[in-house]
Structure 1
Amino acid sequence: MNARFSTPSAPPSGNPASQALQAVIFDWAGTLVDFGSLAPTQIFVDAFATFGITVSLAEARGPMGLSKRDHIRTLLAEPAIQVQWQQRFGNASTEADIDAIYERFMPMQIDKVGHYSRPIPGAVDTLGWLRGQGLKIGSCSGYPQPVMDVLLPLARKEGIAPDHVVAGDALAAGGRPGPYMALANVLALSISDVGACIKVDDTTPGISEGRNAGMWCVGLTLSGNEVGLTQQALAALPESAVSTLRDTAASRLLQAGAHYVIDSVAALPDVVADIGRRLAAGERP
């Protein structure tokens, strides 16, 4: 199995051996669809550009995994971006400015998300395998509901149809890195134990979300935001360069709390089987 492990947790007291996996909860962009998590990144760059503010793709990727409004807020708090804002507008950015950028961002994102709705290779087969194991499939995203309303029917036609979906703006409690969207899946899917759930994500806030919810966490290196390349661009690199990108992404995801890191969801079945064995042996996330 091509997976890396964090330090195993100690078995708890009591009788945990009866525990069995119940659900896997996925992120969307960079995890199930949109190899490289390209759709949201470029739109942040484009939205800020309409205000005369230059944001690099690397800067735009930094807060990925947060809800889109929080993502904008975090970008504006970056010193280099805030300096640009003050030079252009003569004052520090405000909540009204965050709202204005968000309102500019939303129609651009809705217009473009369909271009990036193709499943990541292996995602459809992995979802089918999970269902064959009797597991429920949840999901959550930093995308707000209007964007998900466009993405979901397109993804469904391609075979990506989780049992439940939570959008980034759906909960009053907020989004990542808090546990709320993951726990909303637990409630909707009638899961009896958060420790019987796996959270799969390509971003560090998404891994933190799963850990804060008390779940096993699997980070994705090559397919998602941490590397941020298309399949074609990745395939064109020498293996030594791919290995370096993989190692860097894995380090960040493990530091965020991932129990495992793998290249993409195509490798998830082996991890699910291993977590099942660890649960049976009395381990907890």
Structure 2
Amino acid sequence: MKQSYSGPVKAVILDWAGTTVDHGSLAPVRVLQEVFAKRGVPISEEEARRDMGVLKIDHIRKILFSETVSARWSKAVGHNPIESDVESLFADFVPLQLECLVKYSNVIDGVAETVGRLRKRGIKIGSTTGYTRPMLEMILNPAAAQGYAPDCAITPDDVGAGRPHPWMIYANAIRMQVEPLEAIVKIGDTPVDIEEGLRAGVWTVGVARTGNMIGLSTEDFAALAPPEEATRLKNARAQLASSGAHEVIDAVADCEAAIDAIEGRIRKGERP
């Protein structure tokens, strides 16, 4: 019989946009809205954010084939959406996203310092994303220049499929030589981040304030009136918790307490 794991967290796997860079996860939303608007089919920010976190071509597919957008597409374009429309939209999306990424590559406050402290605890730092490899390459160097460079950075291109499949997490574990999976924590700002972690059999932590669930830049969030800020945070935390997150935090800078709590649960014999 396999002995239960009772040791410390060995690795943390972080999402990118909305978790470690791009407060509010603005880059993908702005480009998605631009791409659809150019076809005469404007989409709302809510429609652009609904499936955030999946591979971008899958994200476009989900938007296009949603009931409301599909109806608007048929009216504007003259035919019901088909798979070639997805491919065409994605072809438009890629260069615009590449152009936009550096503008929105600022590392979120506290990330670099927190990662430094995690490493002092012997924790390895991995990452997964909904970006393609060329897109991620655009932000790796700017992030490193700001003090954040994960030990491993996996994209859907590297493993054949994106979230919610667990393959990117498995690839992180293999490349960083970390086992068992119960010693890994996945941190991200979308429900599909949480699903990715749960499918992989690792612990999950949702990020409420800096990411897609609120969707505001640092400055816009700071400008909220206190009651509005409290309401938005409460709703974001609730959505991530209902997605199955083992812990919910407001930002990566708050993750050490969540990791301590998870290590306590491990010592009690709990499993993800």
* TM-score, normalized by the shorter chain, greater than 0.5: yes
Check whether the contact 1:68–1:168 (CA below 8 A) recurs between aligned residues. no
In 2: Cα distance, 1:248 partner to 1:125 partner: 28
1:114 aligns with 2:102: yes
Question: Which residue of 1 is the match for residue 232 of structure 2?
Answer: 245
CA contact (8 A) 2:5 2:182 kept: no
**Alignment partner of 1:57 is 2:45:** yes
Per-residue displacement from partner, 1:135-161 (whole Å, max 9, x unpaired)? 111001101111111111111111110
Give the conservation status (yes or no) of the 8 Å contact 1:16–1:280.
no
Compare relative contact order (CA 8 Å, sep 6+) and give the higher one, 1 or 2: 1
CA distance 1:18–1:258, shift in 2 (3 Å): closer
Q: Which amino acid is 2:87 matched to?
A: D
TM-score, length of structure 2 as denominator length: 0.97
* Structure 2 CA distance for aligned equivalents of residues 239 and 51 of structure 1: 39
- Match status 1:37 vs 2:25: yes
The aligned residue for residue 184 of structure 1 is: 171
1:129-168 counterparts in 2 under 5 A? 129-168=117-156
1:46 aligns with 2:38: no
| Counterparts of 2:240 and 2:56, CA distance in 1 | 21
Q: Indicate conservation of the 8 Å contact 1:177/1:206, yes or no.
A: yes
AA matched with 1:153: N
Aligned partner (choices 65, 82, 99) of residue 70 of structure 2: 82
Comparing 251-260 with 64-73, greater Cα deviation is found at 251-260
Show the counterpart of 2:260: 273
Distance 1:123 1:91 in 2: 46
Partners of 1:88 and 1:105 lie apart in 2 by 19
Which residue is equivalent to 1:194? 181
Q: Secondary structure at the match of 1:125?
A: helix
Alpha-carbon deviation of 1:19?
2.9
Give the letter aligned to residue 66 of structure 2. E
Q: What's the TM-score, normalizing by structure 1?
A: 0.92
Contact kept in structure 2, 1:195 and 1:216, CA below 8 Å? yes
Q: In 1, are the aligned partners of 2:39 and 2:77 still within 8 Å (CA)?
A: no
Structure 1 residue 87 displacement after superposition: 1.2
Task: For residue 15 of structure 1, report the CA deviation from its aligned partner.
Answer: 4.3
Instruction: Supply the distance in 2 between the matched residues of 1:159 and 1:119 (Cα, whole angstroms).
Output: 8
Partner of 2:10: 22
Q: 8 Å contact 1:26–1:200 — kept in the other structure? A: yes
Identity %: 38
Letter of the structure 2 residue corresponding to residue 86 of structure 1: S
Distance, in Å, in 2 between the alignment partners of 1:29 and 1:215 is: 21
After TM superposition, the structure 1 stretch with the greater mean CA deviation from structure 2, 79-88 or 95-104, is 79-88
Let me know the Cα RMSD of the aligned residues. 1.3
5+ long unaligned stretches in structure 1: 1-12
Question: When the two structures are aligned, how many residues end up with a matched partner?
Answer: 272
1:57-82 CA-partner distances (Å, limit 9, x unpaired): 11100110110000000001111111
- 1:257 equivalenced with 2:244 (yes/no): yes
What's the CA shift string for 1:34-56, capped at 9, x where partnerless?
11010111110001112111111
Unaligned stretches of 5+ in structure 2?
none
Counterpart position of 1:9? none
